[in-house]
Chains A and B, each alone.
Chain A
């Protein structure tokens, strides 16, 4: 180990007991002679202790008792598929009567034939459109979580999925400079996952402009597409669609 410079990774590895005895000793010796290194070690240990403390007693759900075999498992994917079918069905049959803004994009109903549930099968390259129309921070975070979850497992895979996160209406806040509570994370996601595309609806931007609201966007956000058109095109091209 180069003792003249100790990286943050090395300090973390020392605290986590992942270094060889020799390297650990070198880190300790350095900490004894360098207060800044000692302070950094202290910070890392404090974070580790806080995380362990925070999850010592996670809240417990009320659930039936039983074992792996006896407890009836309600398959989450099946439940999700049922929910999607129900939502799509309601949107299709009752048109604009569905409560909530997500069923309608720029005044158009999302038609059932556009919407295909995500099907991660075989070696087929996944292409997924995520659609956000809300400025609820929880939903904003969920949209970023979903994008990252899809991309994270495949970042070193040549067949990495492509994800487009499209925001319109209130959802535009996610991409607005000075407004978005997730600017740093979006920046990091773009660095980590080049196949992630971010799109702010041009029609929403135009409407805001008509109201005298001039909006700035985070770097890397594409503002040249209308949400409804892009989603329509992508689903026609075989992309899966998920509303947040």
Chain B
């Protein structure tokens, strides 16, 4: 590969990484509940991905590969860093009414607190599946755990959330644009 081709390949890869920044940030925040840490972890993961891009043999598997790098980054961080910033949920969009914002904040904050109280291993599984729509198999590969472990951690996580959240709690329709589906 010539120098020019290599430069273009690198630029294209950077663009692919950048397109995934927002999604990675959402996952990182759901794992650590610290916006600054999440931002740093994502930047670190993207930077490492760029450095190690030749290790990605299957371009279609880039998402799982990035999740793995992100998970490793978080693990390394907790092993070596002891910052203790408190959980700090933020308010919703300004276009909401005060009542809507308060209602939304209440549900969002409670769910985030409940998720934050889960063991990290369960938090990682449930957020990859629920937020990213990852398959169980992809999660098993990304986190380097058996498929059965993915399923058992997911069960435990959802059971724990059910125990910790009010039975009537539901996403605020019209704000999230997402309604609870009903089982016939």
Contact = CB atoms under 8 A, between A and B. Distances in A.
Given A45-B181, A57-B93, A61-B38, 16 more contacts: A13-B151, A18-B135, A31-B184, A39-B183, A47-B161, A49-B170, A49-B180, A56-B176, A58-B29, A75-B44, A77-B76, A83-B81, A142-B84, A145-B119, A152-B145, A153-B72
B121 interface: yes
A32 B165 CA distance: 26
Interface residues of A, number: 71
Given A13-B151, A59-B90, A50 B161 contact: yes
Contacts, number: 196
Query: Chain B: interface secondary structure?
Result: helix
Sorted nearest first, the 7 A-B pairs with minimum C-beta distance are: A59-B90, A53-B171, A54-B111, A80-B81, A80-B80, A58-B29, A51-B130
A24 interface: no
A150 interface: yes
Interface of B: 14, 17-18, 25-26, 29-30, 35-36, 38-41, 43-44, 46-47, 49-50, 71-82, 84, 86, 88-90, 92-93, 107-108, 111-112, 115, 117, 119-121, 126-127, 129-131, 135-136, 143-146, 149, 151-152, 154-156, 158-159, 161-162, 165, 169-172, 176, 178-184
A13 B136 contact: yes
A120 B73 CA distance: 13
A10 to B, nearest CB: 9
**Which residue, of A31, A71, A76, A83, has the highest number of chain B Cβ atoms within 10 A?**
A76
Interface of A: 8-9, 12-13, 16, 18, 31-32, 38-39, 41-61, 63, 67-69, 71, 73-77, 79-81, 83-84, 117-118, 120, 128, 136, 138-139, 141-142, 144-146, 148-150, 152-153, 155-156, 185, 188-189, 242-244
Given A18-B136, A51-B126, A120 B161 contact: no
Query: Chain A: interface secondary structure?
Result: helix
A45 B71 CA distance: 26
Contacts of B75: 149-150, 152-153
Nearest to A68: B46
A53 B174 CA distance: 11
Contacts of B93: 57
B82 A243 contact: yes
Contacts of A149: 74-75, 78-79, 120
Contact of B155 (A12, A55, A69, A153): A12
A188 B160 CA distance: 12
Contacts of A139: 84
A88 to B, nearest CB: 12
A50 B170 contact: yes
A68 B73 contact: no
Nearest to A56: B176
Given A55-B29, A63-B39, A150-B75, A77 B144 contact: no
